[in-house]
């Protein structure tokens, strides 16, 4: 053994002995180690920003997927979350796991003729669902669009008028459509999101790895990602929560509208529908023929957003008919014109009862004559 | 040991990039209270006269008032009648019993059954309201349940001026992906609304060949 051949690579070969360490090999090893350490430090640097309560303990780490947990394990997980929420917000939350109701499939209908764009739904949703306030996360967005178009590129989220509605615009609120054929569920690599029996697509926030595939797959931009640790003032926490809906989320998980299932699975209205001042938002059971949404689907002109992508949303938009609802001569002229052109009785769908034309016909001529004379 | 020291030094010295994180504007809770927009007249109706609650007939037994349309009123001046062609008090109020409402056929109904009165002209809306496709429902989504309450016409609309009053909208979103609040001039033109439009936008030529 006359000399040691140094292997020309990034790491030190095992056969190098201490006495063979010359200046050149020392520098090589040192540079490689420095580079490796720098890379490691860079990779670990986000961990510095984590608080002690953000690093999962062993129990949390070993927590199973929601669907795989036994009732006892789920109760353990719920208790763990309760303790965590209590520590962070100093409020004991009313946290439970609500299962879908039998014979219920939720549907939502939104009357674009009545929506005035007041954004109450947006903020009621934030107050109800414990979304992050800093940075701001909202499930519902309201787009103001010029009348006579459905081109969202001409719309804006940032309208700021002293009063709404504006006569030249209409308002299109968009949130999770709870699709029957959800692309977000298909792309999730870890099955952290799935569709429940009542049609609500939910997320196990403890199972989500934050890859954001679902966010990219959603054609309605309904999903939100917690880029930063969500911040929520203690006094603004809503303690009424469930595992799959509005329990506080962590950084790095995706969240979205879940039809307020901690309310709706107990028979209550979602927060957005309850707060809507005009009654433009209608929520109910699609399987119940007498529910408000079923009545709307049967009698109104419905459309869904991006029908062509085949997502089969359970969120429907509808309009009211163009009928003279105020004895307004102009409105009646429009309706008469429509009847002449389209043969429609004041724009009503076939099968609906139609307006009380007898009364309108009996009242209007004499009143108009009286007015114009 | 040296490596550990180096690592900790790098951890301490490495800079984290700052993202401008904006806070949401806190909304006053009372603005988000669900409920009826206005308080409808009770049944039987009461009005405050001189600080005391009075029944309608208490005064109207003495003053049988039924002035012409647009005539100056000695009382109820606060009532602004803006209901289209329906501009006479006694079209809806019963001239004999002021605590009841009158229908076109001459029969009367109590104030609690206001939708029947409105239905005489607004047939389609009444039909929609009965189905639940017009108007607001509170309580529960379970149809015909005890908790479900459908608001009456006059809990949203002022019968004297039924046009739905406009609202001041709550604040616009401030989220990162929705971008900066755009200047009003840009918003009005519509050209710079979408960041994509900057590249997609093609100047409109007047005519095609």
Q: What DSSP line would sit under B33-79, residue for residue?
A: --S-SSPPPPSS-EEEETTEEEEHHHHHTT----PPTTPPPSS-TT-
A252: left (phi over 0), alpha (psi -120 to 50) or beta: left
Distance CA(A124)–CA(A139), nearest Å, equals 10
Note whether A37 contacts B123, CB cutoff 8 Å.
no
Distance CA(A274)–CA(A123), nearest Å, equals 12
Nearest by Cα to B62 from B75, B79, B46: B75
Q: How confident is the model at residue A370 (pLDDT cuts 50, 70, 90)?
A: very low
Of all residues in chain B, the one with the smallest CA distance to A153 is: B194
Tell me the chain A residues in contact with residue B131 when contact means C-beta distances shorter than 8 Å: 292, 295, 299
What is the DSSP secondary structure assignment for residue A231, as one 8-state letter? Answer: B
In degrees, rounded to 5, the angle at the alpha carbon of residue A277 between the alpha carbons of residues A276 and A280 is 60
How far, CA to CA in Å, does A304 sit from each of A177, A272, A357?
9, 19, 31
Indicate if the pLDDT at residue A343 is higher than 80.
no
Of all residues in chain A, the one with the smallest CA distance to B20 is: A135
Distance CA(A35)–CA(A52), nearest Å, equals 29
Is B118 in the A-facing interface, judged by CB distances under 8 Å? Answer: no
Least confident of A31-35, B48-52, B173-177: B173-177
Distance CA(B92)–CA(B77), nearest Å, equals 18
Indicate if the pLDDT at residue B14 is higher than 70.
no
Note whether A356 contacts B141, CB cutoff 8 Å.
no
Of all residues in chain B, the one with the smallest CA distance to A297 is: B133
Q: What is the pLDDT of residue B73?
A: 72
Q: What is the pLDDT of residue A112?
A: 92
Q: What is the pLDDT of residue B5?
A: 77
Q: What is the pLDDT of residue A327?
A: 52
- Residue bearing the bigger pLDDT, A157 or A129: A129
Question: Domain segments of chain A: what residues?
Answer: 58-91, 106-319, 329-372
Q: What is the pLDDT of residue B208?
A: 43
Q: Which of A158, A274, A363 sits opposite B172 (nearest CB)?
A: A158
Decide: B180 and A157 in contact? Cβ < 8 Å.
no
Q: How confident is the model at residue A339 (pLDDT cuts 50, 70, 90)?
A: low
How many residues would you count in chain A? 373
Mean pLDDT score across all residues of chain B? 77
Q: How confident is the model at residue B122 (pLDDT cuts 50, 70, 90)?
A: confident
How near does any CA of chain B get to the CA of A165, in Å? 6
Of all residues in chain A, the one with the smallest CA distance to B105 is: A359
Give the torsion through C-alpha atoms of B201, B203, B208, B209, to 10 deg.
Answer: -110
How near does any CA of chain B get to the CA of A56, in Å? 21
Tell me the chain B residues in contact with residue A323 when contact means C-beta distances shorter than 8 Å: 124
pTM for the model: 0.77
Note whether A157 contacts B172, CB cutoff 8 Å.
yes
What is the DSSP secondary structure assignment for residue A54, as one 8-state letter? Answer: T
Q: Which of A37, A285, A296 sits opposite B133 (nearest CB)?
A: A296
ipTM for the predicted complex comes to: 0.76
Is A160 in the B-facing interface, judged by CB distances under 8 Å? Answer: yes
Note whether B182 contacts A162, CB cutoff 8 Å.
no
Distance CA(A124)–CA(B32), nearest Å, equals 6
Task: Report, as an integer, the average pLDDT of B6-28.
Answer: 71
Looking at the DSSP bridge assignments, the partners of residue A96 are A242
Decide: A357 and A344 in contact? Cβ < 8 Å.
no
Per-residue pLDDT reduced to its tens digit, A214-263: 999 999 999 999 988 899 999 999 999 999 999 999 999 999 999 999 99
Domain A106-319 architecture: 2-Layer Sandwich (3.30)
Q: What is the pLDDT of residue A29?
A: 87
How many residues would you count in chain B? 209
Question: What percent of chain A lies above the pLDDT cut of 90?
Answer: 59
Most confident of A58-67, A185-194, B55-64, B101-110: A185-194
How near does any CA of chain B get to the CA of A58, in Å? 25
Of all residues in chain B, the one with the smallest CA distance to A125 is: B32
Per-residue pLDDT reduced to its tens digit, A185-224: 999 999 999 999 999 999 999 999 999 999 999 999 999 9
How far, CA to CA in Å, does A89 sit from each of A132, A205, B130, B142?
13, 19, 44, 33
Dihedrals φ, ψ of B7, to 5°? -60, -45
Q: What is the pLDDT of residue A341?
A: 66
**Preferred mutation among B141, B165, B166, B201 to probe A, highest tally of A CBs within 10 A:** B141
How far, CA to CA in Å, does B207 sit from each of B184, B197, B202?
30, 22, 14
Task: Report, as an integer, the average pLDDT of B139-165.
Answer: 90
Is A147 in the B-facing interface, judged by CB distances under 8 Å? Answer: no
Indicate if the pLDDT at residue A366 is higher than 80.
no
Q: Which of B3, B16, B136 sits opposite A49 (nearest CB)?
A: B16
Rg of the Cα atoms in chain A: 29
Per-residue pLDDT reduced to its tens digit, B54-94: 888 888 877 766 555 566 677 787 888 888 777 778 888 88
Q: How confident is the model at residue A64 (pLDDT cuts 50, 70, 90)?
A: very high
Task: Report, as an integer, the average pLDDT of A306-313.
Answer: 93
Indicate if the pLDDT at residue A93 is higher than 60.
yes
Is A266 in the B-facing interface, judged by CB distances under 8 Å? Answer: no
């Amino acid at each position: 053994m006359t000399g040691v051949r140094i292997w020309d690579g990034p790491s030190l070969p095992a056969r190098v002995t201490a006495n063979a360490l010359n200046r050149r090999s020392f520098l090589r090893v040192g540079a490689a180690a420095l580079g490796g350490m720098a890379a490691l430090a860079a990779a670990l640097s986000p961990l510095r920003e984590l608080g002690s309560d953000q690093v999962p303990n062993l129990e949390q780490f070993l927590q199973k997927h929601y669907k795989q947990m036994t009732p006892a394990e789920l109760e353990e997980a719920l208790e763990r979350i309760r303790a965590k929420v209590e520590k962070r917000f100093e409020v004991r939350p009313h946290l439970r796991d609500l299962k879908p109701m039998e014979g219920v499939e939720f549907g939502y209908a939104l009357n674009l003729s009545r929506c005035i764009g007041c954004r109450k739904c947006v903020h009621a949703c934030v107050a109800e669902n414990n979304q992050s306030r800093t940075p701001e996360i909202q499930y519902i967005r309201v787009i103001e669009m010029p009348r006579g178009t459905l081109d969202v590129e001409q719309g804006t989220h940032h309208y700021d008028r002293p009063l709404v509605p504006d006569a030249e615009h209409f308002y299109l609120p968009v949130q999770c459509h709870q699709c029957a054929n959800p692309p977000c569920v298909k792309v999730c690599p870890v099955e952290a999101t799935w569709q429940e029996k009542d049609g609500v697509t939910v997320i196990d926030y403890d199972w989500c790895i934050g890859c954001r595939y679902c966010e990219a797959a959603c054609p309605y931009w309904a999903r939100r990602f917690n880029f930063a640790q969500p911040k929520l003032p203690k006094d603004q926490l809503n303690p009424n929560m469930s595992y799959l809906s509005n329990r506080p989320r962590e950084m790095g998980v995706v969240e979205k509208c879940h039809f307020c299932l901690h309310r709706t699975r107990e028979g209550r209205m979602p927060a957005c529908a309850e707060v809507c001042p005009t009654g433009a938002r209608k929520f109910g059971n699609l399987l119940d023929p007498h529910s408000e949404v079923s009545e709307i689907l049967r009698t109104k002109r419905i459309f869904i957003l991006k029908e062509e992508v085949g997502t089969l949303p359970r969120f429907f938009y509808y309009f009211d008919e163009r009928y003279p609802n105020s004895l307004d001569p102009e409105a009646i002229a429009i309706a008469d014109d429509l009847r002449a052109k389209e043969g429609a009785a004041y724009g009503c769908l076939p099968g609906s009862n139609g307006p009380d034309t007898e009364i309108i016909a009996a009242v209007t001529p004499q009143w108009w004559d009286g007015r114009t004379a | 040991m040296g490596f550990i020291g180096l690592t900790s030094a790098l951890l301490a010295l490495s800079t984290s990039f700052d993202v401008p994180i904006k806070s949401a504007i806190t909304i006053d809770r009372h603005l988000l209270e669900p409920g009826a927009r206005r308080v409808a007249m009770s049944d039987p109706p009461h009005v405050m006269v001189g600080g005391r609650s009075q029944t309608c007939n208490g005064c109207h037994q003495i003053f049988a008032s039924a002035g012409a349309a647009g005539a100056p009123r000695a009382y109820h001046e606060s009532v602004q009648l803006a209901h289209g062609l329906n501009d006479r008090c006694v079209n809806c109020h019963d001239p004999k019993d002021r605590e009841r409402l009158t229908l076109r056929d001459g029969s009367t109904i109590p104030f609690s059954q206001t939708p029947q009165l409105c239905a005489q002209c607004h047939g389609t809306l009444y039909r929609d309201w009965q189905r639940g496709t017009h108007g607001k429902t509170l309580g529960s989504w379970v149809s015909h349940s005890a908790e479900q309450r459908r608001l009456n016409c006059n809990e949203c609309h002022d019968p004297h001026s039924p046009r739905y009053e406009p609202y001041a909208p709550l604040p616009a979103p401030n989220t990162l992906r929705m971008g900066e609040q755009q200047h009003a001039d840009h918003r009005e033109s519509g050209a710079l609304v979408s960041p994509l439009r900057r590249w997609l936008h093609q100047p409109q030529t007047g005519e095609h060949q």
